[in-house]
Amino acid sequence: MQQVIGDFIHALRQAGLPVSPAETLDAVNTASLVGLDNRLVLKTALGLTVAKTQENKLQYDHVFDQFFHFAAQDMAAQETDDALEQDGTDISTAEPLISENSNQDSSLVDGSSLVEDSPLADTLQSPLAQQLMQGDQAAMSVAIAGAGNAVGVNQMQMFTQKPLFTFRIMQQMGMDALNQELRELSQQEENQSLVQLLKTRRNLLREQVQDFVEQQYALFAQAEGKKLRDSNLQKVRFTLVDYQSYDRMTGLVRKAAKQLASLHSRRRKVTKRGMLDVRKTIAANAAYDGVLFHTKWKSTRIDRPKIVAICDVSGSVSRVARFLLLFLYSLQDVLPRVRSFVFSGAMGEVTEYFEQDDLETAMTKVMEGWANRSTDYAMALSDFENLALDDIDNKTTVIMLGDARNNNGDGNVKVWEQVYRRSNRVLWLNPEGRGSWDTGDSIMADYAPYCTQVESCNSLRDLTRILSGLLKNS
């Protein structure tokens, strides 16, 4: 039983459930308490011990059904008996292996009942052939699972390994001996019907093994491949993310944002440190005749920054802007006060879009309204001066995302200097690598002196790192 539960936990972990060793022990204890006979009882019981959020519970249900699939098949086989009698033509399923069904099956199996009666069937030598002739499906499932364990099918990692493992399992079950025997039998004329039957059953077995491998792949390896793809996507440059990966990327951004949010969701307070709060202390100890049992300390709350995000949405920067905005608004829990502005030529505030619509719609609106015009930092910044400069105070963090390519125009650096002087912090994220700053029409060097921090930001990883730093130091 420990083996079964161990494998099951392994499958759960592959599906992304964080199951700790302590919870594994709990699961084993639970299973030994309720027993493995009743599937539903086992499902509820294990669910209570290993799945600890609603989301995890859904995943758990899915994995449980997949993992204990074989047990379910046995139960279902009995129920579907009647149904099968009517549509007995379908040989491609594994069901005809069940002996009582095979009698009602198509012509081929009709032949089998003749052969089964003949003494020839008893003379079969290889163990696999005997097993096939018995046609006990439950025993066969167990045999397949046993062979699967022996060849280590749960170590599978890539989908390309599927045929390999199918082959290995068949080998393990004694395919060589069976083939050998088939060759010998087929030389004699009177054995033809038996050989035919064995061959069909062998093919059915192969299909069954393939199903088994497929299922094991889904349980143990599919998540592995996804993880690999995800970790690659984190490193890839935003500008290179193709449209097909947008959905996945969006999911990843949200996930990263959620991680950051839960890490920083705590409102930090500095207590039991610093100055004694005399007034509160005296009040708290009035009951004890003024003897100071309880001390009260002055505590300061560390406030979250107000964030003003300014995004260049022209040309290639727009893709990065998309993910930056997505990230910022996914952080709503920890950064409730985000104002966002976009520009390519003129600048406009788009905070409302994000408050009213969901992210996708808002992004589309933003892109339709502001993107793809020629870049003019001077105009944008003077717009910003009118729009929001007065609202910037010493608690504001300004994040500018742009490549500072100004089509050889004047940069209007004066406004940026004021932004820098008024705000708490100015972050400039440039999607280009440092090497290409100040080449061509880039005027990064003009703005850089008025930034607290200048970063090259081009992948989800960069974005996570920078925003994490922002939350940590606030």
Partner 1 sequence: MIIKHKDRIASPEIVKAGFDDLGYVCSEAIAMAVYLACQLQKPILVEGPPGVGKTELAKKTAEYLGAPLIRMQCYEGLDESKALYEWKYGKQLLYTQVLKDQLGDVMRGAKGLDESVERLQQFGDIFYSEQFLETRPLLQALREDDGAILLIDEIDKSDQEFEAFLLELLSEYQVSIPEIGTIKATSKPIVFLTSNNTRELGDALKRRCLHLYIPFPDPKLESQIIASQVPEMAENLRKQLVNFVAELRDMALKKEPAISESIDWARALMLLNVDELEVQWVKDTLNLLLKYQDDIEVVEPELNRLVRGLK
**Chain positions contacting partner 1, by CB under 8 A:** 18, 20, 22-23, 26, 29-30, 33-34, 40-41, 44-45, 47-49, 51-54, 57, 262, 265-266, 287-289, 291, 293
Nearest-5° Cα angle at 461, 236 to 411: 90
Q: Return the number of the residue (243 or 293) whose C-beta is nearest partner 1.
A: 293
Q: Return the number of the residue (17 or 415) whose C-beta is nearest partner 1.
A: 17
Please give the Cα distance from 148 to 216 (Å, whole number): 9
Please give the Cα distance from 424 to 467 (Å, whole number): 16
**Least Å from the CB of residue 50 to partner 1:** 9
**Least Å from the CB of residue 43 to partner 1:** 10
Please give the Cα distance from 273 to 292 (Å, whole number): 17
Q: Return the number of the residue (26 or 211) whose C-beta is nearest partner 1.
A: 26
SS3 350: coil
Please give the Cα distance from 394 to 419 (Å, whole number): 10
**Least Å from the CB of residue 45 to partner 1:** 6
Q: Which DSSP category does 36 fall into? A: S
- Report yes or no: 344 and 375 within 8 Å, Cβ to Cβ: yes
Q: Return the number of the residue (45 or 218) whose C-beta is nearest partner 1.
A: 45
**Least Å from the CB of residue 22 to partner 1:** 6
Tokens standing for residue 114: 């003749």
H or E segment to which residue 114 belongs? helix 107-117
- Report yes or no: 374 and 408 within 8 Å, Cβ to Cβ: no
Q: Return the number of the residue (27 or 467) whose C-beta is nearest partner 1.
A: 27
H or E segment to which residue 455 belongs? strand 453-456
Q: Return the number of the residue (29 or 157) whose C-beta is nearest partner 1.
A: 29
Q: Which DSSP category does 218 fall into? A: I
